[in-house]
Amino acid sequence: MTDGLIAPHGGRLIINLATPEERETLLERAPTLPHIVLGSRQLADLEQLANGAYSPLTGFLTQADYLSVVNNMHLANGLPWSIPITLSINELEAASLNEGQEIALVDQTGDVQAVLTLQEKYHYDKHHEARQVYRTEDEAHPGVRVIYQQGEILLGGPVRILAVQEQHFARYRYTPTQSRQHFVERGWKRIVGFQTRNPVHRAHEYIQKCALETVDGLYLHPLVGDTKSDDIPANVRMRCYEVLLANYYPANRVLLGVLPASMRYAGPREAIFHALMRKNYGCSHFIVGRDHAGVGNYYGTYDAQHIFAEFDAAQLGITPMFFDNTFFCRSCQSMASNKTCPHDSEHHVTLSGTRVRQLLREGTLPPPEFSRPEVARILIDALREPVA
């Protein structure tokens, strides 16, 4: 424990951001180094490596760790880790690289973001990774599609990050060190984290507040990195959170931050991944609801809850809080779930995603039992905004 908070994964935060002196030295060497251009997912990974959210990782996975994560959901040292953090290139690019050398990692404009010390370059089985991590080889799955489109060689080794990307949502972009400081200043020791890539509806609000009844504070931590093109944009989702916090949450019990990571849509494995990151941010508990990080019909409704039983609870450290599908029951006259409501579904206010989108496009507010009117108005306005 640190300052009364849960310890980071592995015992301490691993900050891979270069010191000012290191940065100056590495920038001087960078023009003479081989360059690899990174995409948005790798740039997001660099930020999480820089700030300690990926603790205990020091860089992109070497082969032993990669195989152990893909096959066993643990690093080679036995510590739980469920998603491989990798850097891929094609065969031609890899041919000129030698293990032991430094490589400059640059963004699309050529600006140096980090320097990788190459420990290993190795082949890997894309289809095997897809089966293990995403439970499917279907290219229609957005996570699988990324694997199939990336290079055939993985580069593993530690990184020193020189810069992070433009700070969207800078007001809310707390590092794990900063979020932990906020928790200590507020006197919180038991903090529950909540992850979402979707707009917040009454069901989300209900389970957040149920969890908040049992802990000191709630860390609302929506993901603002890459998502599917048909997901609601992060700036819209953040406006929804802001209006909810202004009207319906106790200000001294809730902190809103953002997670600048990319969605993998790995369902159960990503639930573990999201929990471990929130552990690094200082959360002692983590909410796992229906179809966490799911997409399409690739995962069972509660697979993301069941997977926690496959791990040693002490090794995970963070405590999951499982919630059933929730709804407003007209007979109970309250929010409820199948665990607490005795009435048939005809008494429940439930809407499909398709129906909600139809109502919003028509400019019609969904029932207030489903969505707060303030949130629905933001979504209606967003759907009317011209596409940039």
Active site residues: 197-198
Which CATH superfamily hosts domain 20-161?
Sulfate adenylyltransferase (3.10.400.10)
Question: What is the pLDDT, as a whole number, of residue 188?
Answer: 98
Burial 4-34 (b: 16+ CB within 10 A, else e): ebbebbbeebbbbbbeeeebeebeeebeebe
CATH 3.20.20.70 matches 170-384: no
Please give the biggest Cα pair distance in the chain: 71
Concatenating the DSSP letter of every residue in 199-225 gives ---HHHHHHHHHHHTTSSEEEE--B-S
Residue 20 DSSP symbol: H
Model pLDDT, residue 255: 98
Amino acid 4 reads G
Residues of the chain scoring pLDDT < 50: 1, 387-388
* Residues pairing with 115 in the sheet: 104, 160
Q: For the segment 338-388, what is each residue's pLDDT rounded down to a tens digit?
A: 999 999 999 999 988 788 888 998 999 999 999 999 999 999 999 876 544
Of 180, 199, 201, which is closest to residue 191 (Cα–Cα)?
A: 180
- Whole-number pLDDT of residue 1: 47
Give the domain ranges of the chain.
Answer: 20-161, 170-384
CA distance 201 to 224: 18
Query: Which pTM was predicted?
Result: 0.95
> 124: which 2 tokens?
């890997």
Integer Rg of the chain from CA: 21
DSSP string, 309-363: GGS-HHHH-SEEEE---EEEETTTTEEEETTT--S-GGGEE---HHHHHHHHHTT
So what's the pLDDT on residue 2?
62
pLDDT at 345: 94
